[in-house]
Copies of this chain bind each other. A is one copy, B any other.
Amino acid sequence: MGILNYPNGYKQKNNLLKKTSTTNFGKRGMNFEEAINQSNAYYLTHNMCVIHKKPTPIQIVKVDYPKRSMAKISEAYFKQASTTDYNGVYKGKYLDFEAKETRQKTSFPFRNFHKHQLLHMEQALTHGGIVFTLLFFSSLNRVFYYPAENLLQQVHTANRKSLKLSKIEQEGIEITVKIAPTIPYLEAVDQFLQQHNSLI
């Protein structure tokens, strides 16, 4: 895992610090990531699944001890994550997903997905995980569950640099935003499993 450089690292990680600068999700004063975290917290509290966001990977270089009682990290760098951001367990099954957003209105750029994330999705699928992406079209205020199977196929075979919205509408499952959980993605997971004749 290498240390991130500008422009990707800069832009991406800067958002973590200045959340208000990202797209306001559903006009509720939270961005897409916060909406997912809220949904995960809701699901956890209501005993429906256990999904957590993984911490951002950091390379720690120097730690000071301004007081004996506290460790202060005074030099560290962002690292490239080697997996997707979210995983956990639902009905005994392994769930794994990545959340991405775009301001585009007709397609979702593949460049949003990093190589290592795609590789991880492929590996998790191989071992029977339920792997997907939550795609947020911020200009349209629409959210989709899009299976990793389809994403990988598109990335590997499509002769384009983005995923058409029409394709996502056709192969994905649109998620209607609610009060709580804000993004009820488990409903889409259930629908996906039904469609694929799972034993759940």
A contact set with B: CB distance below 8 Å: 3-6, 9-10, 13-14, 16-17, 44, 47, 49-50, 52, 54-58, 60, 63, 65, 68-79, 81-83, 87-96, 120, 123-124, 126-129
Contact = CB atoms under 8 A, between A and B. Distances in A.
Q: Which 9 residue pairs are nearest across A and B when measured between Cβ atoms?
A: A92-B128, A89-B94, A55-B57, A73-B76, A89-B129, A94-B94, A55-B55, A6-B69, A89-B127
Contacts of A55: 54-58, 79, 81
B89 A92 contact: no
| Copies of the chain in the assembly | 2
A172 B96 CA distance: 29
Contacts of A44: 123
Contacts of A89: 94, 96, 124, 127-129
